[in-house]
């Protein structure tokens, strides 16, 4: 079992004719993901080298109507990405995974608002995220497929590369993953910790959860409260940015300690208070979870 | 991106947000010449001389002086220009004042705080206001959170007039001041929205004894992700406010922040980059920088990143920690090899590669015959680089 994506996922790649879109579309096809269409405005009917078997369309509407797509992944450049997310939602897919890094906050505020108002059943993951993978079934995004292994640990993370790090550590010690979700590091995003924790908590194929947070905002604190109130499965966690200086934005638009809020120490305290085991270093995330399951 | 107070006020003026009469200057002579002009335009002898640096807390540090006569104002200009201004945000070394704002003095009735920023929990831009103007808003939030009023902006309808009336009432404004406040808000909100601001603070917002509402200060940050819509703002960038290495990194779209340690770090992904700093500290070392080369970096960008790190004389060892996703390990390898060929390698280099195209990346590094210490994982790499930099600090 798994959450969000699996054998039934029929994926459209938005921005498939671009360099990143084409490269990762090929990687997804190789992994076994059912990529049913590509969309780039003006490229309908064209062929993308190495992806000749995947039909290209100008619009999402065609991709959904003609290919039965139910999910999309967005590799479109930042100025046009918000438009692409809304186009996907309007076309009727159930899941939109936005990989694009650097979408303006103003655009995402509008996207989030319209999704909540008009498409409440559409799940947005990202933006600025590595994507979602159910190992052995379906990979959507940019994560290296080979580090994953089917299993029972649900992973949710605000950081892309730290998601790879935990998955790699888990796989190395023989712990597979049910689904790994990178929710992204932007301040306005779709799926948040609580959404992912809800799905994993209800998924019979998930027996433990690992969450990776980072400095900035208070979604880890809210997640901790949610775990305390609702989650029955063992939860491990790690918070990145424990040594980050206040007032400096650490790459992710969301990762900044401002106004005395968002510090790693507060988050770690909240997680521990909720009964979550926090890994002391990023190299010990996998072993921390293994101990919980022992 | 941050701008100066006077630039923020110029932007306010463009949008029709009332600000005091003022002239900015970049030399003592220009500032002295500005004094009579401001006095004449404003119809008052009282002027305020304000140091223009990006850090807050300027008043307490002696960077803001009220002068009642032209002679006093000239003395203030001479005193503040060129001074090393130390505030709680500049660090102990302070910041040299190279720009001044000469502004009309106002007959202030009351000071308020007004701020706008994104509320992440709701996903909406929110206006914050408080009667405790002039104070640090963080302090007000911590001690008396009930004194901070919040009004979210609906993304569909935008700011509504009733919200101005509600805030005015809650702030205790009435009569002419309440009317002026209702006129003050819509252009301010439009400015925040159209200019892709990420933070806008007016501290203090003032009412005058004749019922006017003005922005006495302007602190504005812009969303770096939206700079493609505002190319004109590049002209407002003040290079003297930025770390030279951070500036160089920006040219290549690299996310770089100078820190005070001696271990140079090159990492892909913000989370992994932060955690790499964490683990270096955990093993007793001190990172010299945060550097996220990002996902879409080319070999040229990696080369530039590597040169920025090696250009820091404090760096005693370098840790390259890559877990390739969208970033390919061979791209990193090619960039590092090119950089070393160009500028040489005078300090130990520890490399940990994993992820997309890892075998190819490792093969390229091995064939390059560079003197590289290979690391099996993050902890191994962190221990090795801390040892290479001279052990625990």
Work out the widest C-alpha separation in chain A, in whole angstroms: 56
Of A257-271, B176-190, B228-242, the one with minimum mean pLDDT is: A257-271
Which of A188, A218, A255 shows the shortest C-beta gap to B118? Answer: A188
Among A237-246, B8-17, B87-96, top mean pLDDT goes to B8-17
Are the Cβ atoms of A113 and B155 closer than 8 angstroms?
yes
Q: What is the mean pLDDT of residues B352-367?
A: 90
pLDDT at A107: 98
pLDDT at A257: 63
- Does the pLDDT of residue A97 top 70, yes or no? yes
- Does the pLDDT of residue B21 top 80, yes or no? yes
Cross-strand pairs, B47:
B67, B104
Token readout for B74 is: 């000239």
Q: Which residue has the tokens 């009917």?
A: A45
Coil, helix or strand at residue A72: strand
Cross-strand pairs, B113:
B130
pLDDT at B250: 84
**Of residues B252 and A140, more confidently modeled:** A140
Interface test with A, best of B200, B268, B275, B329 (most A CBs within 10 A): B275
In A142-251, beta strands by DSSP E: 150-157, 177-182, 208-214, 235-240
- Does the pLDDT of residue B374 top 80, yes or no? yes
Token readout for A223 is: 């997640």
pLDDT at B63: 94
pLDDT at A256: 67
pLDDT at B129: 94
Which of A99, A106, A144 shows the shortest C-beta gap to B226? Answer: A106
Cross-strand pairs, B84:
B96
Q: What is the mean pLDDT of residues B294-300?
A: 78
Residues of A noted as catalytic = 252
- Does the pLDDT of residue B119 top 70, yes or no? yes
pLDDT at B279: 96
Going across the sheet that includes B22-25, the strands are B22-25, B100-104, B47-51, B64-67
Q: What's the CA gap between B364 and B368, in Å, rounded?
A: 6
Of A120-134, B118-132, B155-169, B291-305, the one with minimum mean pLDDT is: B291-305
pLDDT at A259: 59
Cross-strand pairs, A133:
A139, A180
pLDDT at B76: 96
Show residues of chain B in contact with A188, CB under 8 Å. Answer: 118, 120, 123
Asked if A145 contacts A31 with a C-beta cutoff of 8 angstroms, the reply is yes
pLDDT at B345: 87
Q: For A242, which residue in chain B has the nearest alpha carbon?
A: B278
Are the Cβ atoms of A251 and B270 closer than 8 angstroms?
yes
Task: Tell me which long-range contacts B22-26 makes (C-beta under 8 A, separation of at least 24).
Answer: B22/B101, B22/B102, B22/B103, B22/B104, B23/B101, B23/B102, B23/B103, B24/B52, B24/B99, B24/B100, B24/B101, B24/B102, B25/B99, B25/B100, B25/B101, B25/B102, B26/B98, B26/B99, B26/B100
Q: What's the CA gap between A157 and A285, in Å, rounded?
A: 12
Q: For residue range B25-48, list pLDDT tens digits in order.
A: 999 999 999 999 999 999 999 999
Spell out a b/e string for A95-118, using b for 16 or more CB atoms within 10 Å of the CB, else e: bbbbbbbbbbbbbbbbbbbbbeee
Show residues of chain A in contact with B276, CB under 8 Å. Answer: 282
In chain A, beta strands by DSSP E: 11-14, 35-39, 56-57, 71-74, 95-98, 123-125, 131-134, 138-141, 150-157, 177-182, 208-214, 235-240, 277-278
**Of residues B302 and A191, more confidently modeled:** A191
Are the Cβ atoms of A244 and B270 closer than 8 angstroms?
no
Task: Looking at the complex, report in whole angstroms how far the Cα of residue A58 sits from the nearest Cα belonging to chain B.
Answer: 25
**Of residues A201 and A217, more confidently modeled:** A201
Q: What is the mean pLDDT of residues A267-277?
A: 96
Q: Which of residues 2-41 of B touch A (CB under 8 A)?
A: none
**Of residues B266 and B326, more confidently modeled:** B266
A79 touches chain B (CB under 8 A): yes
**Sequence-separated (6 or more) residues with CB below 8 Å from residue B231:** none
A225 touches chain B (CB under 8 A): no
Which region holds residue A102: left if phi is over 0, alpha if psi is between -120 and 50, else beta? left
Show residues of chain B in contact with A165, CB under 8 Å. Answer: 272, 275, 323, 378
- Does the pLDDT of residue A1 top 70, yes or no? no
Asked if A262 contacts A215 with a C-beta cutoff of 8 angstroms, the reply is yes
Q: For residue range A3-55, list pLDDT tens digits in order.
A: 999 999 999 999 999 999 999 999 999 999 999 999 999 999 999 999 999 99
Are the Cβ atoms of A244 and B196 closer than 8 angstroms?
no
Show residues of chain B in contact with A157, CB under 8 Å. Answer: 271
Q: For B136, which residue in chain A has the nearest alpha carbon?
A: A259
In chain B, beta strands by DSSP E: 22-25, 47-51, 64-67, 84-85, 95-96, 100-104, 108-119, 124-130, 148-152, 197-208, 213-215, 219-222, 255-258, 263-267, 289-292, 317-324, 349-355, 372-374
- Does the pLDDT of residue A260 top 90, yes or no? no
The DSSP element (H or E) to which A221 belongs, if any, is helix A219-230
At residue A254 the predicted structure's pLDDT band, cuts being 50, 70 and 90, is: low
Q: What is the mean pLDDT of chain A?
A: 94
Q: Which of residues 238-277 of A touch B (CB under 8 A)?
A: 238, 240-245, 247-255, 259-260
User: How much of chain B exceeds pLDDT 70, in percent?
Assistant: 99
At residue A168 the predicted structure's pLDDT band, cuts being 50, 70 and 90, is: very high
B113 is catalytic: yes
Among B5, B151, B201, B256, the active-site one is B201
B5-15 vs B175-194: helix crossing angle, rounded to 10: 100
Of A116-125, A166-175, B245-254, the one with minimum mean pLDDT is: B245-254
pLDDT at A255: 67
Q: For residue range B186-234, list pLDDT tens digits in order.
A: 999 999 999 999 999 999 999 999 999 999 999 999 998 999 999 999 9
A188 touches chain B (CB under 8 A): yes
Measured at the CA of B163, the angle between CA B157 and CA B168, to 5 degrees, comes to: 155
Q: What are phi and psi of A113, to 5 degrees?
A: -65, -50
User: How much of chain B exceeds pLDDT 90, in percent?
Assistant: 68
A293 touches chain B (CB under 8 A): no
At residue B178 the predicted structure's pLDDT band, cuts being 50, 70 and 90, is: very high
């Amino acid at each position: 079992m798994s959450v969000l994506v699996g054998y039934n996922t029929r994926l459209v790649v938005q921005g498939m004719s671009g360099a990143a879109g084409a490269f990762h579309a090929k990687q997804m096809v190789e992994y076994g993901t059912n990529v049913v269409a590509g969309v780039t405005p003006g490229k309908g009917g064209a062929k993308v080298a190495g992806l000749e078997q995947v039909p290209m369309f100008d619009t999402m509407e065609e991709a959904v109507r003609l290919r039965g797509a139910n999910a999309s992944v967005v590799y479109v450049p930042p100025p046009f990405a918000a438009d692409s997310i809304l186009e996907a939602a309007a076309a009727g897919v159930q899941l939109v995974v936005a990989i694009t890094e650097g979408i303006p906050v103003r655009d995402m505020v509008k996207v989030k608002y319209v999704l909540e108002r008009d498409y409440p059943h559409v799940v947005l993951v990202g933006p600025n995220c590595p994507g979602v993978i159910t190992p052995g079934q379906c990979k959507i995004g940019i994560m290296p497929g080979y580090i994953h292994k089917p299993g029972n640990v649900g992973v949710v993370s605000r950081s892309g590369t730290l998601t790879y790090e935990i998955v790699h550590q888990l796989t190395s010690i023989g712990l597979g993953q049910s689904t790994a979700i990178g929710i992204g590091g932007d301040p306005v995003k779709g799926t948040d910790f609580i959404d992912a924790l809800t799905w994993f908590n209800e998924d019979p194929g998930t027996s433990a959860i690992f969450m990776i947070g980072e400095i900035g905002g208070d979604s880890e604190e809210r997640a901790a409260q949610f775990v305390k109130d609702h989650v029955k499965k063992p939860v491990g966690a790690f918070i990145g940015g424990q040594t980050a200086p206040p007032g400096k934005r650490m790459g992710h638009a969301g990762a900044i300690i401002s106004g005395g809020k968002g510090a790693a120490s507060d988050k770690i305290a909240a997680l521990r208070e909720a009964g979550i085991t926090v890994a002391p270093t990023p190299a010990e995330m996998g072993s921390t979870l293994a101990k919980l399951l022992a | 991106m941050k701008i100066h107070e006077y630039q923020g006020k110029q932007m306010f003026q463009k949008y029709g947000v009332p600000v005091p009469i003022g002239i900015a200057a970049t030399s003592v002579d220009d500032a002295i010449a500005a004094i009579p002009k401001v006095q004449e335009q404003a119809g008052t002898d009282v002027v305020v001389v304000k140091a223009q640096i990006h850090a807050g807390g300027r008043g307490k540090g002696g960077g803001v002086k009220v002068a009642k006569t032209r002679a006093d104002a000239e003395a203030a200009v001479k005193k503040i220009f060129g001074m090393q201004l130390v505030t709680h945000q500049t660090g102990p070394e302070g910041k040299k004042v190279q720009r001044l704002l000469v502004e009309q003095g106002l007959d202030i009735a009351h000071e308020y705080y007004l701020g706008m920023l994104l509320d992440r929990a709701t996903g909406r831009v929110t206006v914050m206001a408080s009667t405790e103007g002039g104070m640090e808003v963080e302090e007000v939030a911590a001690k008396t959170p009930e004194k901070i009023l919040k009004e979210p902006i609906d993304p569909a309808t935008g700011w509504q007039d009733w919200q101005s009336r509600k805030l005015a009432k809650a702030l205790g404004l009435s009569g002419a001041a309440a009317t002026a406040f209702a006129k003050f808000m819509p252009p301010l909100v439009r400015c925040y929205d159209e200019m892709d601001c990420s933070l806008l603070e007016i501290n203090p917002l003032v009412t005058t004894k004749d019922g006017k509402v003005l922005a006495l200060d302007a602190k504005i940050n812009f969303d770096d992700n939206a700079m493609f819509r505002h190319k004109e703002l590049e002209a407002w960038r003040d290079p003297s406010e930025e770390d030279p290495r951070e500036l160089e990194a920006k040219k290549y779209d690299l996310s770089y922040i100078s820190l005070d340690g001696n271990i140079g770090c090159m990492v892909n992904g913000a989370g992994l980059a932060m955690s790499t700093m964490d683990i270096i500290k955990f093993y007793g070392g001190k990172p010299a920088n945060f550097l996220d080369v990002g996902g879409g970096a080319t070999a040229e960008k990696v080369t530039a990143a590597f040169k920025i790190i090696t250009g820091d004389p404090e760096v005693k060892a370098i840790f390259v920690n890559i877990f390739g996703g969208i970033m390919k390990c061979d791209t990193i390898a090619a960039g590092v090899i090119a950089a070393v060929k160009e500028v040489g390698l005078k300090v130990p280099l520890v490399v940990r590669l994993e992820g997309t195209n890892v075998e190819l990346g490792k093969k390229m590094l091995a064939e390059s015959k560079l003197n590289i210490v290979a690391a099996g994982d993050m902890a191994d790499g962190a221990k090795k680089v801390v040892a290479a930099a001279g052990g625990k600090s």
